Chain A
Amino acid sequence: MRFGRVKLAAGVVALSALALGVVAARAQAPDRNVWTGVYTTEQAERGRDAYASQCAACHGGSLAGIDVAPALAGSTFLSNWNNTNAGDLHSRIQTTMPLQAPGSLGGRTVADIVAFMLQVNGMPAGELALPPNPALMRNVSITAREPEGLNEDGCTCE
């Protein structure tokens, strides 16, 4: 740790404490979980429309998939994305979909589509919308089931 090299004896303890504080603050982006309400109902409604026009032709109106595209709902989706995070899912959609125009969907539209997918998979809506940027949802875990002992902040820790 860079701060540890400071030689001023009097300052070492204080600076070390400060340094630890910085590191801790960085690590302390709250753990969130898709089962704690990470999108809004309005967002999922917009996502339903966006899904219909951008995704349904290949993944099906009921998200059940077709011969050449996987299901986006149910056991197939839940297990394939278990223990990843919403940022992974957002990035995957934004960079590769829709196939005829990858990269064409804005971050907000992708977030709306993700919200709709979460809703169809039984995850509850909440007060805060999913952000438009995958970097802002790396701390949103996707788990196939609601973890036991999940607190209001989406954390199973103390």
Chain B
Amino acid sequence: MARLNRRALLTGTALAFATVALAPMRKALAQRVSQDVPDTEWRHYAGDQASTRYAPLDQINAENFVDLQLAWSFKTDALGARKEYQFEPTPLHVKGRLFLTAGSRRDCVALDAATGELLWMYRLDEGQRARNSPRQLSGHGCSYWTDGTEERILFVTVGYQLVSLDAKTGRPDPAFGTDGIVDLKRNFDQEIDPETADVGLHATPLIARDTIVVGAAHTAGDQPRIRENVKGYVRGFDVRTGQRKWIFHTIPLKGEFGYNTWEEGLAEKAGNNGVWAEMSADEELGLVYLPVELATGDEVGIFRRREALFGESLVALDIETGERRWHYQFIHHGLWDHDLPCAPILCDIPVDGKTVKALAQPTKQSFLYVLDRTTGEPIWPIEERPVEAGDVPGEWYSPTQPFPTRPPAYDMQGVTEDDLIDFTPELRAEAVEFVKQFKIGPLFTPPVLSKPGRWGTIMMPGIQGGTNWPGGCYDPETHTVYVYSKSQPGVVGIIPNENMNVSEFPYVRGTYGIEPRPMMAMGAEMPQRPPAPPPANPRPGGQDEVGPTAPRSLSVQGLPLLKPPYGRITAIDLTKGEHRWQIAHGETPDDIREHPALKGLDIPRTGRAGNLGPLVTKTLVICGEAGFYTNEYGLRGAMLRGYDKMTGEEKGAVYMPAPQSGSPMTYMLGGRQYIVVAIGGGNYSAELMAFRLPGAA
């Protein structure tokens, strides 16, 4: 952690720009365009089926990173009926073309990878079906398949349809499904309404051995409106025909493996347990790896009592048949919404002098779980340790949870007084008083009933993690995983609920004194709320009398409750199961830099909380910032930063007008290396930006 306190080499934009200004003179005669360097591709969402997000390129390196300039950019405003601000895709690069989904309608587009010119666009207007989807907007991107002659681009629409397009023309493949489309709401081993059912997907379909594997995502379950939601089964389809090859019941049917881990009769009625994250595959082993979420009820498990497989488990399936080979449950009966958010990284690592086919799973709880990917056995021991039980009536508490012994957690876990803000003694003292209103404790401290003076449990990491959907990256040369995580706590309190219009659950996430509101699935009809909801959870003395109220946010004088860094990148050496380095990633947020209580203090860069995926090349770890900040020129924007992959030392930063919203990728084309990244957010609409070094076109 020593590095977190050092001033980064380039703390501000000005120094980066100063270096930029000098660099062209230094480099004026450098020949960067080398035609003999072969083009490289980026055929999968995270670079390859192993989800490494790695490219062994070094034309862009520590010395010239600050010379990067915009090659082209592509605004997505005209795709869809309105602008988008949540642009999450990583494009694919195949033979000089970029393929991605984009815009508020999630159109699929092909761009010239050297110029950004639009080559084709495919649009499917799904009307109300799309507006009802729990996963809107551009999604994570698309997938590529070829048999050497035919080329296909596949993606899942907002309305949950699988589309196969000819990569050359963007036209639907008539041999696939019905006119190029498979309706994913049918042939799903459950009857659901294709117009309104609560299922969609942001993730790309994973393609391995000519099989397309598709997951399922649903509305978040803090206050689940209904108990019997859609079941998030995972299916495999033939890439040529769209025929369903298999289905895997993530909630096991009676007689299937795992059914006995549920209390009798609960599995039949449970929903969700889908795979909303990206997946990975090992074609040689013939396995696909599924990161599974929780069954319905993110923080309340009374309708999914016991371990309830395959909740919060990684499941390895046979790609050809969909049969389970092994599974590993990271959290038993989770109550923290720490479902698996991203693909495991497949990595061949040295263990006791032998190379082991392993995988490394980043998580919301900030453990990197390292398993043998053939068998699911841990590489380093994972110990079952006792954990505390909570006090919610009807809840089931696992007596133990698995704790990896290596590598160490890569972000803060649980909360103690030592973790509280300490910029000044006054702030610390206030924070110590503040947390007395909550339950705090180590990782896996359970949510508790919310009451005055103990409003809930402070969870750290919060429900978003830790690490979220972008996942990490992996350098096969040094066997190092790089992962971004945010340090953002959350509060989980549980309150009783008698209002069936709000939820069919008798307990939901909430705060004492505040009436719970229904979390409506997008397609669901809003129930007619009674004029005065029954006061199941009244304020003391009635609605009009002012009783004690819970703090609105985890903050002290408007500053985050916990110490920085608020966002960090950790390099984890898998040859030893140790951290190689850890740095704060992201400029200190404006609201903290400008806070009157911190005037005159020298605060090292705090990093920034968000959801980010880094990229690793021959020499650099490259990652944009998660949020806007105002630089010394008074301009809003965010930096794309390049770090020495061996030390974490910052080697340069490039200005972008908005934060990174989709993970960066890179490729060589025509002798030049490109870095492409999706940006947007706040008042800046989505844009794809391509950077390269200066040189003759």
Residue ranges of A at the interface with B (Cβ–Cβ < 8 Å)? 52-53, 56-58, 60-62, 64-70, 73-76, 78-84, 88-89, 92, 95-96, 99-103, 120, 122, 143-145, 148
Contact = CB atoms under 8 A, between A and B. Distances in A.
Contacts of B611: 67
A145 B490 contact: no
A57 B558 contact: no
7 contacts: A57-B522, A61-B223, A67-B464, A75-B592, A79-B608, A82-B629, A100-B136
Contact of A53 (B509, B511, B514, B517): B517
Nearest to A89: B683
B591 to A, nearest CB: 4
Contacts of B510: 61
Given A57-B522, A64-B553, A73-B553, 19 more contacts: A52-B517, A57-B220, A58-B220, A61-B517, A65-B464, A67-B341, A67-B468, A78-B590, A79-B628, A80-B682, A81-B628, A81-B682, A81-B683, A83-B636, A84-B683, A101-B131, A102-B81, A102-B82, A102-B104
Nearest to B519: A57
B681 to A, nearest CB: 6
B398 interface: no
B288 interface: no
A67 B590 contact: no
A80 B628 contact: yes
B529 to A, nearest CB: 8
Contacts of A145: 558, 590-591, 594-596
Contact of A68 (B135, B529, B553): B135
A114 to B, nearest CB: 13
A68 B276 CA distance: 11
Q: Name the prevailing secondary structure of the B interface residues.
A: loop
A52 B595 CA distance: 30
Q: Which of A56, A57, A58: most chain B CB closer than 10 A?
A: A57
Interface size on B, as a range, is 35 or more
B629 A79 contact: yes
Interface of B: 81-86, 104, 131-133, 135-137, 202, 219-220, 222-223, 276, 341, 462-464, 468-469, 490-491, 509-511, 514, 516-523, 526, 529, 552-553, 555, 558, 560, 566, 589-592, 594-596, 608-611, 627-630, 634, 636, 659, 681-683
A102 B85 CA distance: 13
Nearest to B636: A83
B636 A70 contact: no
Nearest to A49: B517
B104 A62 contact: no
B682 A67 contact: no
Contacts of A68: 86, 135, 202, 220
Contacts of A57: 219-220, 518-522
A16 B609 CA distance: 53
Contacts of A52: 517
Contacts of A101: 131
Contacts of B133: 100
A103 B609 CA distance: 30
A78 to B, nearest CB: 4
